[in-house]
Amino acid sequence: MHPVILKYAGNDASKAYDEVHSPSMIHKALTAEQFKGMIEPSAELPSVDTPAETSIPRDANEIPQLEQLITVHDFEEVARKRYTEKTFAFYSSAATDLISHHANLNSYRQIMLRPRVLRNVKEVKMPRMILGCPSSAPFFVSPTAMAKLAHPDGELAVARGCGEEDIIHIISNNASFPLAEIVAAGKPGQAFFLQLYVNSERRKTEELLREAAGLGIKAVFVTVDAPIPGKREADERIAAGNLVSAVSGAVAKNDKKGGGLGRVMAKYIDSTLNWDDLAWIKKVSGLPVVLKGVQTGADARMAMEYGVDAIMLSNHGGRSLDTVQPAIITLLELHRTCPEIFGHMEIYIDGGIRRGTDILKALALGATAVGIGRPYLYSLTYGQEGVEHLTQILKDELVSAMKLSGITHIHQAHPGMVNTAYVDPLIRGTETHPWITWTPQAKL
């Protein structure tokens, strides 16, 4: 039995349901025989003690006017004050000591731009083709779970905002709304990608892939950097009510390890997933397959050998294994260990991108496009308008960075535009240690 039913037995659970679920989800999950009718609100029902709220704002004071927000960081500060403690912890948390999370941000600050001057930069262009899909800018919305915790429209608002700004939305496998509703919220012909966690019940993954293909989803981003969830302590420390994803069906409920939504919702993920399964995913879906979470040059080369369509360099926003290198460092590693990959497939990157200059640096180093995740969750304080405003800020910053660097088209971005000297010592050239000769006896 669903944990929310157990918790609210004999009571009205409508509020708990509506806070995080799509209204249509109940019709999708129940048969006609199971639907018993509508209840009448009654003051006679006893109250139910609940853990930390996930959807009721902490600070009910008036939030700043949207026009007052001029940076990505402004959205985070508003969300920090506005979202519930549990919601903000779920969105902002990262693994253990947050080393990789902070490294993601700091790595871009250590790469310097080398602008050229006396160029005619009156007009600039930044459209990009991403897996054959046109985008008005070289960035997209990375998959982020349970957006309805931030706003009643959740992923619907993200889809609408992306449609208005003509950028691509990668729908999370743990979205609050059913896949069909999210796609329907967009404009006709709007491009969507799907993030996939392979379910240990493979039949469910096959059903989801067929549904995605039928809805016109353009590609599948298979998450490969999280066979198990990372330990996100800020998320674990705060208990929360029970949640269910409308896409994956994953249930989050508190247990003896804590109340981490990321951990308990990930129990359905198949940790046996391996390279040989990629052909099955491609066959079932009939869609381009992208590996999301590649973190070494060796695995990038494996991706080429297994015929995937593209890769996304990512460390899961620092939310899986802590102390792993930032994706921008992995991008540089690819140039040293398998440079041929840049002519073989598209390469995306996410993690720590907060400025237009960050986007330009990644593109100059060979990325096709970049993903931005957490900031879009924070923008949902303002719903669809927040999504659009955040996108406009990033576009404006990118245009400024291009003009000040002396280029007029995003395709002109090149490695000579950046100085990577600060991070060059971090770039590995082989899979073996540069000077340790000891090797374990176990087969790797």
Catalytic residue numbers read: 316
Q: 39-44: long-range contacts (C-beta < 8 A, 24 or more apart)?
A: 39/12, 39/14, 41/12, 42/12
Using alpha carbons only, what angle is made at residue 147 by residues 152 and 188, rounded to the nearest 5 degrees? Answer: 80
* Tokens describing residue 30: 């129940």
Strand partners, 251: 244
* Tokens describing residue 187: 């404009």
Per the annotation, binding residues are 143-145, 172, 195, 197, 223, 232, 292, 314, 316, 319, 350-354, 373-374
Query: What's the N-to-C CA distance of the chain in angstroms?
Result: 42
Do residues 305 and 284 touch, judged by C-beta distance below 8 A?
A: no
Distance, CA of 71 to CA of 328 (rounded, Å): 22
Q: What is the largest CA-CA distance in the chain?
A: 76
Going by the DSSP 8-state scheme, the letter that residue 39 receives in this structure is P
Per the annotation, binding residues for glyoxylate are 197, 232, 316, 319
What DSSP string runs through 61-109? SPPPPGGG--SHHHHHHHHHHHS-HHHHHHHH--STT-HHHHHHHHHHH
Strand duo 139-141 + 369-372: pairing: parallel
Three-state SS at 140: strand
Per the annotation, binding residues for FMN are 143-145, 172, 195, 223, 292, 314, 350-354, 373-374
Distance, CA of 262 to CA of 83 (rounded, Å): 17
**Residue in the block written with tokens 């912890």:** 89
What does the H/E/C string look like for 213-229? HHCCCCCEEEECCCCCC
Q: Which helix (H) or strand (E) holds 112?
A: strand 112-113
